[in-house]
Structure 1
Amino acid sequence: MNKAAAMLLGAATWMGVAQAQELPAPAPAPAPVSDAAKAQEERIRKLEEEVQALKAQGATKPEPVQLGGAGGAAAKALNPDISLNGDFLGAMGRNEVRPVPGLEMHEAELGIQSVIDPYSRGDVFLSFSDGGVSVEEAFVTLTALPGEFVAKIGKMRADFGKVNTTHNHALAWTDRPLVTENLMGGEDGIDDMGISVSRILPAPGDLFLEATGQVFRGESEGLFKASRKNDLSYVGHLRGYEDLTENTNLELGYSYAQGHNELGHDFLTKLSGVDFSLRWKPLRRSIYNSLLWRSEFIWSRRDQLLGPQRAFGWYSSLDYRMDQRWTVGARFDWSERATASNQLDRGASALLTYWMSEFSQVRGQYRFTRYDGRQDASELRLQLIFVMGAHGAHPF
């Protein structure tokens, strides 16, 4: 090897040593992961997944529970609405034809109402009075029938006119009109075991039209009497409702009823009636001002031993709510008697009602009646009404 080659070899050797000194030392090999560490990592991963799932559920709104249109009642886990209505009466004056006690618990009505399932609801009303306890109404309403029909099965007030369907505590007066006493069998009217089927009918414009057909057992005290099992009574009702203006609406109705009377299977009593209600209530002003004018006209044809007996009667009432507390009203009565010829009763009433709240009211009614054109009765009747619990709305 010559001198130049030796010098080149030495330089190369010196540069390699220098580069080797500048390179970092290799990292040590990682230690193997133990099985216990792997299991711990897997548990942490699963916990993180569960936390994310819970957060996602909390962000999603739960679906509202609905039970056949029960609305807020669904949250009560099917507990029924229970209410108690009190109706206490006092009377001063003289009435020798139809006297009433000076003080009486006219009625305490216990109401139990609830949705049964998505297809039906139940209503039970028990009446407590000085005369004892009775079932005023107890029926099941089937709301999901084919063809948009609605059916009721049980004991119920017949859908005849307006007064017959109204419970005592919901009346605008302390009593019922003379036409109810003379032609409809008294305070209970047509109230019997039966089946009712109704349907909303197609109608032009904004007209609401409803037809109802009912079949009853044929037992309504003072009006219908079933001598045989097939002596049924029948009721039909057609009503129409329409808004005339934003503040005014009109309701018209026609009713028909037929059943056997106490003289036997071959003797029928037939009733027909027309009712109208005109309501005014300004929606954009005071919420308490309102006016209701209501009238009913009833014709009776009753088979008797000497031939059919015909009678006619009507009432007309006007009620004006002045403000939150006070309501004034008047009613006129005119009615013949169903079982006697040429006997006519007439009367007039003036009323004043003080609303302590929407759940209690005090009413005074002065009533003058002339029975059969000869016997006069002049009375001042006082009434206290209160409502406890959740009581469903009455028919409008």
Structure 2
Amino acid sequence: MLNSLTFARHTRAAACAVMLMLAAAGAVAAQTPQNPQPSQSTPPPQPDSQQQLRDEVDRLRKEFESVRDAYGLRLAALEAKLTQMGGAGVPPPVEQPPAAVPPPTAAAAPPGQVEVPAGAAGAGGPQGALPIYGGATATSKIFNPDIAVIGNFLGAVGRNAVNPAPVFEMSEAEASFQAVVDPYARADFFLAFSPEGVEIEEGFITFPTLPWGLLAKVGKLKQQVGKVNTLHAHRLPWVDRPLASINLLGGEEGLADSGVSVSKLIANPWIFLEATGEVYQGNSGVFQSHQRSDVSWVSRLRGYRDMSESTNVDIGASFARGHNDAGPDFHTNLFAVDATFRYRPLQRAMYRRFLGRTELFWSRRDQEEGRVPAFGMYVSGEYQFSRRWFAGAR
């Protein structure tokens, strides 16, 4: 039915166009003078040519009338058919006026994104744009987070009487589940699968847009004591952790506990400076709570500065305090200092890099026989000499 009406409209338009052409041709013929004055450059037209023009106009007029009559009969038949079917004529589409464009107030974010609210740039929060999760997108992302699985397979040769290891070992496999819950929160959960079983290595919610430029994390976290303690096993530049970290920070897993971490950037014109304060339940490899109020505390100050376009320095200092397993009146204090130097030439950034790192740890543990001090440190270097090959020593 709609195709028939469309054809009828096109027919009317074609008929009008032919009528206009005939009218124009007739006007030209009528304006042709009967006895034109010959000019010096153009010869006078012959009477036969004028008669031929009139004959051509008459022929076109007759053809148009024939086409008009045929299309009129066909249009009448179509309208009668529509009337018999009980359908009303479809009104021509009404052209809607263009909608008023609102004045631009800010740079529009790409579709599916929203600018980070004020305060997110502080305390190491994300910058730029965050995805908008609403409707179908919310369902697809929140209930279908980014998932990754990483395995850590090790092999060993030689002799080690202190810490013997099998020749081959699947020491750990880690599964991560990460998603932006909304523009104000992000979820990160990491499950570790080892021969001892399955545990939550880390699981926390990050709030990057708190007032006063604060960034907060709530959940099970790796404590900010030194640099290596915050790294997962697959991110280590070595096959194992340094002995100083194992002996003074609670073993292979390091210091990890349930608590709250709050960070803030300290604005200054010289260096990137970040201060972090954390409160934990008080149960980890080093600390042991005996009642609800026996929480552990961690503070850290980190500074970063670019020395040139290819080099930078990262320095940090940490302090942690909490109860230990000797009793409710016994505490353990930890001090840590770390420094990292990076060199990466811009022209060869994918093929050349050097990273040097050192950490120093001091421990003061209260026991019945008195305070027991301990100290440990390590120095490491790593050099990249090809796109996928590194060499290092510790």
Would you say same fold, with TM above 0.5?
yes
Query: What residue is the counterpart of 2:9 in the other structure?
Result: none
Cα distance in 1, alignment partners of residues 313 and 109 from structure 2: 43
Answering whether residue 278 of structure 2 is matched by residue 214 of structure 1, we say yes
Answering whether residue 218 of structure 2 is matched by residue 153 of structure 1, we say yes
Offset at 1:94? 2.1
- Provide, for residues 169-206 of structure 1, a one-character-per-residue CA deviation record: whole Å limited to 9, x for no partner: 0000000001012111111111000000000111223x
Query: What residue is the counterpart of 2:182 in the other structure?
Result: 117
Q: Secondary structure at the match of 1:92?
A: coil
Q: Judge conservation of contact 1:227–1:264 (CA < 8 Å) in 2.
A: yes
Cα distance in 2, alignment partners of residues 226 and 283 from structure 1: 49
Q: How does 1:1-396 map to 2 (within 5 A)?
A: 43-46=91-94, 49=95, 64-66=111-113, 71=130, 77-78=140-141, 79-205=144-270, 207-221=271-285, 223-331=286-394
Q: Partner amino acid for 2:227? A: K
Runs of 4+ aligned residues of structure 1 deviating over 3 Å after TM superposition are: 39-42, 67-77
**Distance verdict in 2 for CA 1:286–1:197, change over 3 Å:** closer
Cα distance in 2, alignment partners of residues 250 and 238 from structure 1: 14
**Distance verdict in 2 for CA 1:171–1:44, change over 3 Å:** same
Q: Secondary structure at the match of 2:245?
A: helix
Query: What residue is the counterpart of 2:121 in the other structure?
Result: none
Gaps of 5+ in 2: 1-81, 102-107, 117-127
Cα distance in 2, alignment partners of residues 167 and 62 from structure 1: 34
Q: Judge conservation of contact 1:70–1:115 (CA < 8 Å) in 2.
A: no
Q: Partner amino acid for 1:258? A: R
Q: Judge conservation of contact 2:130–2:183 (CA < 8 Å) in 1.
A: no
Q: Secondary structure at the match of 2:200?
A: strand
Q: Choose between structure 1 and 2 for higher RCO, CA contacts under 8 A separated by at least 6 residues.
A: 1
Q: Partner amino acid for 1:235? A: V
Q: Secondary structure at the match of 1:250?
A: strand
Q: Secondary structure at the match of 1:173?
A: coil
TM-score with structure 2 length normalisation?
0.68
Offset at 1:253? 0.2
Backbone CA RMSD of aligned residues: 2.7
Cα distance in 2, alignment partners of residues 73 and 247 from structure 1: 36
Cα distance in 2, alignment partners of residues 108 and 286 from structure 1: 30
Cα distance in 1, alignment partners of residues 328 and 317 from structure 2: 27
**Distance verdict in 2 for CA 1:92–1:45, change over 3 Å:** closer
- Provide, for residues 341-360 of structure 1, a one-character-per-residue CA deviation record: whole Å limited to 9, x for no partner: xxxxxxxxxxxxxxxxxxxx
Q: Counting strand residues as a fraction of each chain, which structure ranks higher? A: 1
Q: Partner amino acid for 2:160? A: N
Q: Partner amino acid for 1:266? A: D
- Provide, for residues 102-130 of structure 1, a one-character-per-residue CA deviation record: whole Å limited to 9, x for no partner: 32211100000010111100000000011
Offset at 1:148? 0.7
Q: Partner amino acid for 2:91? A: R
Count of residue pairs brought into register by the alignment: 286
Q: Partner amino acid for 1:313? A: G
Q: Secondary structure at the match of 1:269?
A: strand
Q: Judge conservation of contact 1:120–1:141 (CA < 8 Å) in 2.
A: yes
Offset at 1:93? 2.2
**Distance verdict in 2 for CA 1:53–1:62, change over 3 Å:** farther
Q: Secondary structure at the match of 1:284?
A: helix
Q: Secondary structure at the match of 1:210?
A: strand
Cα distance in 2, alignment partners of residues 73 and 284 from structure 1: 37
Offset at 1:88? 0.9
Gaps of 5+ in 1: 1-35, 332-396
- Provide, for residues 214-234 of structure 1, a one-character-per-residue CA deviation record: whole Å limited to 9, x for no partner: 00000102x111111111111
Q: Judge conservation of contact 2:109–2:129 (CA < 8 Å) in 1.
A: no
Q: Partner amino acid for 2:292? A: K
Cα distance in 1, alignment partners of residues 111 and 367 from structure 2: 60
Moved more, 182-191 or 165-174: 182-191
Offset at 1:42? 8.4
Cα distance in 2, alignment partners of residues 62 and 169 from structure 1: 35
Q: Counting helix residues as a fraction of each chain, which structure ranks higher? A: 2
Q: Judge conservation of contact 1:104–1:130 (CA < 8 Å) in 2.
A: no
TM-score with structure 1 length normalisation?
0.67
Q: Judge conservation of contact 2:214–2:263 (CA < 8 Å) in 1.
A: yes
